[in-house]
């Protein structure tokens, strides 16, 4: 097994967080909002693909992911994406677009590390009547032979030579303080600037704002963080058969994707602005797509070639460029990625719920991650506990739980089923032809199972 982490090897060349950040910082000017022009392909630009009126062969699964990454880099270049000053309570999960430099010394004054007495010189000491508490103004200086009660975090008086912990001192009948063990000069004083000096770089550009980063930023004097804005996503849920509440009846079923996608997209770095349910109505879909100014439109359903599958005809009608039109992956092979404008893309997720998850992780994840300037997770593998049937030509994504004995494939992994993925920790990438028991398989972690920032869905 190789351990998961942040990718730092040569693969980073294709997906360079620094570059994504540089694109945001450069703020290259007004976005071109006209119809998409074919890109030159190659590094940083999606490869030129086919217009939406021709059906091409499906893209191999790894290539589909790379294409989505490249599309995001091209979009970031085309868009006007200036770093934002984001209040700390809204910055979780964002990427820092500026280094975090300390705005103050930390601690910002000499402070007591313990509850006890601040002392000057050798004991015994006479103890002042008034103690010193955290948050109070600077106390008067101590003179040799003097002590004052002090609380953890309080400012030590000028000329303090050490702090004596409460449990290491006793007062005699005349009220004088004696140490019960040796006192070392400077003990239990946190000197000003011990952690950092004002201006020190605490964290570099590209750091993910975790809860700990928010805490450090607050301690260092920040009210806002300069961060890469979240890519804005609008979700369009297609299908006449979908109910938003109650039990399925009369051939109607519950919409599983409307509730599932927004938090998942947020975990991938997006700001989900809206979820709109559209029936199988080509005009309504056309109106929704053409009036949308999101960075990414995610549609669900309607990707196949049925009579009410309106995604392809709509893309043709608006002159969109299909970068990915079907992927050699099961489930989810009808998924697609289209460029609508230089800085606007559409990911078409198949309607079958597990197929939609497959599209989310294959196309939306690399696209959003790159736009959000998040680092790619380092690929890792685990042995499969059980053999997994393969598709003859396509990659399979199979829900698994991670156990000591390896990745355990789950049942209920059909394209229309969510029962497997709802119990899963990850998806195993099963190559064409299948995998033997004990064979190493690449794993795609699910955001709630990684224990990382992805668990924070706010």
Ligand X SMILES: Nc1nc2c(c(=O)[nH]1)N[C@H]1C(S)=C(S)[C@@H](COP(=O)(O)OP(=O)(O)OC[C@H]3O[C@@H](n4cnc5c(N)ncnc54)[C@H](O)[C@@H]3O)O[C@H]1N2
Beta bridge partners of 381: 442
Question: What tokens were used for 377?
Answer: 């997770």
Question: What tokens were used for 135?
Answer: 């948050």
Q: Output the CA torsion 5→60→261→236 (10° steps).
A: 150
Q: Which residue is nearest to ligand X (CB)?
A: 351
Count of residues that interact with ligand MOO, criterion CB under 6 A: 9
299 binds ligand MOO (CB under 6 A): no
**Calpha distance 194→189 (Å, rounded):** 10
To ligand MOO, the closest distance from the beta carbon of 303 in angstroms equals 9
Whichever of 91 and 355 has its CB closer to ligand X, that residue is 355
Binder to ligand MOO among 220, 355, 363, 427 (CB under 6 A)?
355
Instruction: Please name the residues in contact with 4: beta carbons below 8 A apart, sequence gap of 6 or more.
Output: 377, 378, 380, 443, 445, 450
Question: Which partner in ligand X, ligand MOO, none is near 269 (CB below 5 to 8 A by kind)?
Answer: none
**Calpha distance 418→354 (Å, rounded):** 6
Whichever of 127 and 417 has its CB closer to ligand X, that residue is 417
Instruction: Please name the residues in contact with 436: beta carbons below 8 A apart, sequence gap of 6 or more.
Output: 384, 387
81 binds ligand X (CB under 6 A): no
Per CB under 6 A, contacts with ligand MOO among 310-339 are: 330-334
Whichever of 344 and 362 has its CB closer to ligand MOO, that residue is 362
Question: Which partner in ligand X, ligand MOO, none is near 253 (CB below 5 to 8 A by kind)?
Answer: ligand X
121 binds ligand MOO (CB under 6 A): no
Binder to ligand X among 111, 161, 300, 370 (CB under 6 A)?
300
Strand 327-330 and strand 253-254: the pairing is unpaired
To ligand X, the closest distance from the beta carbon of 404 in angstroms equals 34
**Calpha distance 245→255 (Å, rounded):** 8
359 binds ligand MOO (CB under 6 A): no
Using an 8 Å Cβ cutoff, are 432 and 394 in contact?
Answer: yes
Whichever of 165 and 330 has its CB closer to ligand MOO, that residue is 330
Q: Which residue has the tokens 């439109």?
A: 297
**Calpha distance 402→396 (Å, rounded):** 18
Rg (CA), the chain: 29
**Calpha distance 328→63 (Å, rounded):** 10
To ligand X, the closest distance from the beta carbon of 388 in angstroms equals 18
Per CB under 6 A, contacts with ligand X among 435-454 are: none
Per CB under 6 A, contacts with ligand X among 234-273 are: 237, 239, 241-242, 253, 255-257
To ligand X, the closest distance from the beta carbon of 332 in angstroms equals 6
To ligand MOO, the closest distance from the beta carbon of 309 in angstroms equals 13
415 binds ligand MOO (CB under 6 A): yes
DSSP string, 125-172: EEEPSS-B-TTPPPPPPP-TTEEEEE-TTPBPPTT--EEEEGGGEEE-
Beta bridge partners of 116: 150, 165
Q: Which stretch binds ligand X (CB under 6 A): 23-31, 330-338, 382-390, 443-451?
A: 330-338
Instruction: Please name the residues in contact with 63: beta carbons below 8 A apart, sequence gap of 6 or more.
Output: none
Binder to ligand X among 206, 353, 420, 447 (CB under 6 A)?
353
To ligand MOO, the closest distance from the beta carbon of 327 in angstroms equals 9
Whichever of 350 and 399 has its CB closer to ligand MOO, that residue is 350
The count of residues in the chain is 458
Q: Which residues bind ligand X (CB under 6 A)?
A: 237, 239, 241-242, 253, 255-257, 300-306, 309, 331, 333-334, 350-353, 355, 415
Q: Which residues bind ligand MOO (CB under 6 A)?
A: 330-334, 350, 352, 355, 415
């Amino acid at each position: 097994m190789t351990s998961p982490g942040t990718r730092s090897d040569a693969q980073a060349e294709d997906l360079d967080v620094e570059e994504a950040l540089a694109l945001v910082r450069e703020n290259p000017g007004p976005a071109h909002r006209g119809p998409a022009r074919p890109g030159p392909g190659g590094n940083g630009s999606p490869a030129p693909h086919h217009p939406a009126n021709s059906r091409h062969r499906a893209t191999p699964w790894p290539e589909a992911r790379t294409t989505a990454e490249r599309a995001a880099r091209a979009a970031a270049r085309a868009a006007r994406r200036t770093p934002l000053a984001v209040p700390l309570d809204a910055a979780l999960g964002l990427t820092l677009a500026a280094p975090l430099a300390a705005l103050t010394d930390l601690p910002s004054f000499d402070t007591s590390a313990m509850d006890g007495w601040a002392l000057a010189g050798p004991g015994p000491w006479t103890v002042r009547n008034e103690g010193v508490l955290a948050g109070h103004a600077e106390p008067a200086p101590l003179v040799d032979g003097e002590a004052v009660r002090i609380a953890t975090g309080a400012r030590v008086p000028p000329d303090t030579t050490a702090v004596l912990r409460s449990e290491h001192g006793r007062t005699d009948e005349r009220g004088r303080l004696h140490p019960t063990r040796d006192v070392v000069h400077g003990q239990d004083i946190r000197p000003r600037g011990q952690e950092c000096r004002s201006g020190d770089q605490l964290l570099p550009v590209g750091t993910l704002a975790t809860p700990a980063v928010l805490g450090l930023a607050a301690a260092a004097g920040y009210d806002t963080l300069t961060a890469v804005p979240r890519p804005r996503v609008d979700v369009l849920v297609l299908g006449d058969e979908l109910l938003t509440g109650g039990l399925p009846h009369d051939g109607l079923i519950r919409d599983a994707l409307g509730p599932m996608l927004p938090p998942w997209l947020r975990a991938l770095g997006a700001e989900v602005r809206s979820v709109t349910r559209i029936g199988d109505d080509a005009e309504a879909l056309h109106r929704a797509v053409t009036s949308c100014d999101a960075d990414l439109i995610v549609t669900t359903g309607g990707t196949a070639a049925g009579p009410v599958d309106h995604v392809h005809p709509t893309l043709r009608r608006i002159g969109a460029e299909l970068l990915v039109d079907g992927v050699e992956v099961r489930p989810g092979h009808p998924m697609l990625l289209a460029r609508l404008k230089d800085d606007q893309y559409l990911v078409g997720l198949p309607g079958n719920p597990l197929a939609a998850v497959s599209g989310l992780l294959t196309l939306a994840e690399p696209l959003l991650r790159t736009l959000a300037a998040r680092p790619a997770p380092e690929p890792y593998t685990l042995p499969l506990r059980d053999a997994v049937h393969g598709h003859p030509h396509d990659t399979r994504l199979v829900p698994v739980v991670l156990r000591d004995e390896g990745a355990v494939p789950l049942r209920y992994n059909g394209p229309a089923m969510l029962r497997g993925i709802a119990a899963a920790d990850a998806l195993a990438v099963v190559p064409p032809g299948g995998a033997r028991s004990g064979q190493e398989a690449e794993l795609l972690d699910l955001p709630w199972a990684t224990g990382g920032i992805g668990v924070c869905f706010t």
